[in-house]
Structure 1
Amino acid sequence: MRDFHVPGRSAVLSTQAMAATSMPVATLTALDILRQGGNAMDAAIAACAVLAVVEPQSTGIGGDCFCLYAPAGSGEVVALNGSGRAPAGATPERLRSDGLTAMVSTSAHSVTVPGAISAWEKLNAAHGKLPLSQILLPAIRLAENGHPVHARVASDWSASVGKLSRQTATARHFLKDGKAYGVGDVFAQPALARTLRAIGEKGAKAFYEGEVAADMVATLRAAGGSHTEEDFAKGLSAAEFVKPIQSSWRGMDVFQCPPNGSGLLVLSMLGILGGFETPEAGPLSVERLHRHVEAGRLAYRDRDAFLADPAMAEVPVAHLTSPDYTAALRALIDDGAAMRELPEAGSAEWLPKHRDTVYLCVVDADGNACSFINSLFESFGSGILAEQSGVMLQNRGFGFRLQEGHPNCIAPNKRPMHTIIPGMVMKNGRAIMPYGVMGGHFQPMGQTLFLSNHFEFGMDVQAALDFPRLFPYAGKVQVERGIPTDVLDRLSRLGHECTLIDKPHGGGQAIFIDHERGVLIGGSDPRKDGCALGY
């Protein structure tokens, strides 16, 4: 039970349907689509399209998408990989000849062909009920008429002025007199509205072929990219249904999308942490946080060594998530001290030697559950705007490496290592929670913190999202202000170098399905501007 003397909000409860997104207008859109006869998939796509308009720093039709969907009564989880590929001309030699020694986030070479629209069309065709023209209409209207900028969006916008100033077209449309749009400023995107309308009327072909594709290609080639219209035409079929990966944890089955997504890290971390007894001192105890940081360090070590496009490299998912391996990693964690060094990746033996996204979830009256995530990667992606079509292009290719021989080295038609991961929890063959936590590289850490907060420490959905976070990154532990000073002092004495971060870690949404009582319980992260609503 929350303390009503303390600022905060309660979890949202309903009996029929619910949506949780990072912007109020997107949540309302999802419910409107449900009331128009759509299902959870239709509502999720509609809400995502709205977020592509009103949360432009985080997502857009120039980005990628992943989805987990649990059709009611099926006992199954459907997974879709909607990540795009590098252009055919993207070779390490080409990038080095252009002066790159590593991937650059604002370079056209970091722009992969967007996969989101391919994903939306495929998901709608396979599992939706309403036509795309109806689903996209709320987003079209918002892009045409404009929408007031919310607080978190304005904060992120202000931090991105340097990137938005790099390209003349981008600055012309995304800055006002050289400055970011502020809270309450109305921002319209008429070119994006025209593109969304064309997609609604003609399908994904209107994005991957014809005028829109030609505009994106011309923009990228002018910025030094190797992209061609043929690359974009191939992007029409980029999205594909894949077999989800899963593991058992605390009597439940946790599902993730397979590589090139980072969901295997969630399964690895849950495997490591699941063998520990729950700390008696509680969720803010040094013991709990220390173990979580150490598990994260081990899992991310393996990600950096192995995670890549499975069509072009072997990714040892079974090994990295197996009970034997995660138990061996657990044995490396010492409650009395942080590991000074880590074993070689993929091993539990000592051998010689972040970002912007939108996540949303919907449960409809029939019990269909949708876990949906769409992203430009870093704030405003590459910062390269295809002006005539209004498409801001992602920089997902920044996830590649230029290291020859590395499984994640950039190559033609290859998918990069991906950070966006929707989550789904099942129990006894029924979905009990679509959930997700945004924040680039932070997402596996965020998901496991959230799941532990809720299922292990008994917090309700909203409290589990509210709870303060930390993240081992670049040799330090980035901590939010909500972690008490005495806890940080003790973590430091264990050997962790803790540093406060300016902006909080990520943002999440979740809907718990209480089958026994027939109640939906939703939450939305206070680190964003959104909300959960139901009826």
Structure 2
Amino acid sequence: MVVGDEFIKFASRRSTVYSAKGIVSSSQSLASAAGIKILQKGGNCVEAAIAVAAALCLTEPASTGIGGDCFALYYKLEDKNDPKSGKVLGLNGTGRAAKNVTPQDVWNEHNGGKPMKRIPYTSVFSVTVPGAIAGWNDAYEKWGSKKVSFAEILEPAIELAENGFPAAELAARSWRGSAKKLKAQNPGANLTSLLVDGEGPNEGELVYNKQIAEALKLIAKHGKKAYYEGPIAEAIVKTTSARNHKLTLDDFKNHTSTFVEPIKLNFQGFNVWEIPPNGHGLVALLALGIIQELHNSSKINLHELKHNSAEYLHVLIEACKIAFYDSDEYVTDQDFKDIPIEELLNPKYLKTRANLFSPAKAIDGESISHGVPDPKFKSDTVYFSVSDSNGEACSFINSVYQGFGSGILVEDFGFCLQNRGSNFNLTPGENNCLEGGKRPYHTIIPGMITNSDDSLYAAFGNMGGFAQPVCHVQHVLNLTLFNFTPQQSIDSPRFILDSDGNPETDRGKGADGPVSTPITIVKLEEGISADVIDKLKKLGHDTELITGFARGTFGRAQIIKKEIKEGNKFVYAGGSDLRGDGASVALG
């Protein structure tokens, strides 16, 4: 292991938090406090995570809300006295497109009936059925301890909405940045539930949202039915129908969460877990698998690479790019397309993809495409993590996607609708093309790492759209290869990938991600040396240095690591991102 000077300079600006009882790590301190309240009442990590999710809908509404979606991974012990008896469980709490919608509806609305490749991010057709509330309720019913009621779990968020809370610095900045969008998307609407004097709040300014409080009270009393079969669903459909969408009350009534079997890859003796598609956690596992095959074939030596050196970053960048090309073909709703996940994560296939790597130059984006493991197969967000005194952990992510999602306000209840549907493409025949009742490609992904003996190693995640799998790869290597503490991994400068955004060269495949066009931009965070950036340019990478508040583009990570001490005793180590307003809070 080699640690670079840039890590020594920029890491450890906040200490890792330790606790033997439990930790809540989120991007808002008030939301972390909500989770601690539930743990103190005897709730487990899943119930505390739901409380955090609800509180974040108030305290960071540009990133998440009750009009959004969620995913969760739950590390559950079969025997509380045996730390090796754990199993990783998964929940897909994402919504589906309207049953009767077609690409032609989008073309008619936005392009005079002529074909186009993508759904605009502010289009009403970017709105899918929000899945978060069903996800919360279903996670509680299946995984909760029942030592607290669902109503008790929502109490902290209701109190924030009714009694007000001070806006945190970075959330307020994001809020104000979205004010123009909110006003443009809702002409003539009453925006007082979201804006203060027509703008977002300033840091420390008290914010109220009594309309969301009423929605949460209905949900607390009646569960998910209040959202999907009652007045909230009616208000959403009224809002979208006024803009020519095809969402119906039946689309809401028929919505279901899905409990899924997580997918995993063994990396250097650790099992890394992700949610299967339609989430793109597969990208992180493919990239890690490619890196491992490069090491196994002696093309690189992981243990000799210097952290955040040009050589190290080149390996990670190329592995992630190759994985994103596969995501164009293989990340979609599995109810609509069989995805050969086992074959994709097989070392034999990963080795063929690793053969695309050159240590001397960047991959040509004009010529590369997805791989085929077998001929028969051709054809803005919040993340948080919670651990409890039982030795269990929940990795949870909740999102409306871009700032306030679509920006379309459900005026009766004071929240905005997500724009997850914008990650469908509109190319008929492509796997991720918009279809009625289909779940879109999803960028939100919770992560989990277990040891080879099935004991918990870490619950982790990194919000940030298409940055997420790229950051997952970096955190896995930071934790398992370089032995960073959670806070050190989070503070370490990161890179992400983005397309150049040229609509003329958009391939119309997959989602609107880093390889949607032939040119992929490597965005590098300040703290990565100028010499390293120069070397990456010479390898053929298009690079961009990101500094200051713009570093929010690298997302906000939360990590809780479980450290086994003597016998079955353990200690949690928690880290929270300085790119956000939150903290890791220990249960005392």
TM normalised by structure 1 equals 0.95
Q: Report the AA paired with residue 216 of structure 1.
A: I
Whether the aligned pair in 1 keeps the contact of 2:193 and 2:211 (CA below 8 Å) is no
SS at match of 1:206: helix
Q: Distance in 2 between matches of 1:163 and 1:279?
A: 47
Q: Does 1:515 align with 2:520?
A: no
SS at match of 2:15: coil
TM-aligned CA distance change 1:5 to 1:112, over 3 Å = closer
Aligned mate of 1:147, from 165, 171, 190: 165
Q: CA deviation at 1:347?
A: 4.9
Q: Report the AA paired with residue 241 of structure 1.
A: F
1:461 matched residue in structure 2: 486
Q: Report the AA paired with residue 417 of structure 1.
A: Y
Q: Does 1:196 align with 2:216?
A: yes
2:506 matched residue in structure 1: none
Q: CA deviation at 1:484?
A: 1.1
1:443 matched residue in structure 2: 468
TM-aligned CA distance change 1:387 to 1:150, over 3 Å = same
Aligned mate of 1:489, from 534, 541, 546: 534
How much identity, in percent, do the aligned residues show? 39
2:272 matched residue in structure 1: 254
1:533 matched residue in structure 2: 585
Any residues of structure 2 matched to 1:123-522 within 5 Å, and which?
123-128=139-144, 129=146, 130-166=148-184, 167-168=186-187, 169=189, 171-235=191-255, 238-275=256-293, 276=295, 277-278=301-302, 280-341=304-365, 342-347=367-372, 356-427=380-451, 428-474=453-499, 475-501=520-546, 502-504=550-552, 505-517=554-566, 518-522=570-574
Whether the aligned pair in 2 keeps the contact of 1:20 and 1:530 (CA below 8 Å) is yes
Whether the aligned pair in 2 keeps the contact of 1:466 and 1:526 (CA below 8 Å) is yes
Q: Distance in 1 between matches of 2:258 and 2:55?
A: 23
Q: Which structure 1 residue ranges, 4+ long, deviate > 6 Å from structure 2?
A: 1-7
1:53 matched residue in structure 2: 58
Structure 1 unaligned segments of length 5 or more: list them. Answer: 350-355
Whether the aligned pair in 1 keeps the contact of 2:284 and 2:320 (CA below 8 Å) is no
- Superposed CA offset, 1:293-329 (max 9, x none): 1011101111123311010123232232221122222
Q: CA deviation at 1:513?
A: 0.5
- Superposed CA offset, 1:411-440 (max 9, x none): 111100011111111111222211111101
SS at match of 2:466: helix
TM-aligned CA distance change 1:6 to 1:202, over 3 Å = closer
Whether the aligned pair in 1 keeps the contact of 2:193 and 2:414 (CA below 8 Å) is no
Q: Distance in 2 between matches of 1:127 and 1:387?
A: 33
SS at match of 2:527: coil
TM-aligned CA distance change 1:491 to 1:5, over 3 Å = closer
Whether the aligned pair in 2 keeps the contact of 1:216 and 1:391 (CA below 8 Å) is no
2:507 matched residue in structure 1: none
Whether the aligned pair in 2 keeps the contact of 1:282 and 1:457 (CA below 8 Å) is no
Q: Distance in 1 between matches of 2:134 and 2:525?
A: 37
Q: CA deviation at 1:259?
A: 0.7
Q: Distance in 1 between matches of 2:527 and 2:397?
A: 27
Whether the aligned pair in 2 keeps the contact of 1:170 and 1:383 (CA below 8 Å) is no
1:353 matched residue in structure 2: none
Q: CA deviation at 1:461?
A: 0.9
TM-aligned CA distance change 1:62 to 1:170, over 3 Å = farther
Q: Report the AA paired with residue 466 of structure 1.
A: D
SS at match of 1:471: strand
1:79 matched residue in structure 2: 90
1:352 matched residue in structure 2: none
- Superposed CA offset, 1:108-167 (max 9, x none): 111000101111111101111221100000000101122111111122223323311221
Q: Report the AA paired with residue 109 of structure 1.
A: F
Q: Is the deviation greater in 330-339 or in 174-183?
A: 174-183
Q: Distance in 1 between matches of 2:551 and 2:357?
A: 29
TM-aligned CA distance change 1:288 to 1:6, over 3 Å = closer
TM-aligned CA distance change 1:6 to 1:433, over 3 Å = closer
Q: Is the deviation greater in 120-129 or in 496-505?
A: 496-505
Q: CA deviation at 1:503?
A: 3.2
SS at match of 1:459: coil
TM-aligned CA distance change 1:433 to 1:327, over 3 Å = same
Structure 2 unaligned segments of length 5 or more: list them. Answer: 80-84, 296-300, 375-379, 500-519
Q: Distance in 1 between matches of 2:525 and 2:160?
A: 34
Q: CA deviation at 1:450?
A: 0.8
SS at match of 2:409: strand
2:505 matched residue in structure 1: none
SS at match of 1:439: coil
Q: CA deviation at 1:174?
A: 2.7
Q: Report the AA paired with residue 385 of structure 2.
A: C
Q: Distance in 2 between matches of 1:302 and 1:411?
A: 21
Aligned mate of 2:15, from 2, 10, 14: 10
Q: Is the deviation greater in 200-209 or in 150-159?
A: 150-159
SS at match of 1:301: helix
Q: Report the AA paired with residue 260 of structure 2.
A: V
Q: Report the AA paired with residue 371 of structure 2.
A: G
Q: Distance in 2 between matches of 1:497 and 1:159?
A: 28
Q: CA deviation at 1:406?
A: 0.6
Q: CA deviation at 1:93?
A: 2.1
Q: CA deviation at 1:17?
A: 1.2
Q: Distance in 1 between matches of 2:8 and 2:290?
A: 32
Q: Distance in 1 between matches of 2:352 and 2:524?
A: 27
Q: CA deviation at 1:281?
A: 4.9
- Superposed CA offset, 1:475-494 (max 9, x none): 21111112111110111111
Q: CA deviation at 1:177?
A: 3.7
**What is the number of residues matched between the two proteins?**
527
Whether the aligned pair in 2 keeps the contact of 1:262 and 1:421 (CA below 8 Å) is yes
TM-aligned CA distance change 1:348 to 1:468, over 3 Å = farther
SS at match of 2:336: coil
SS at match of 2:326: helix
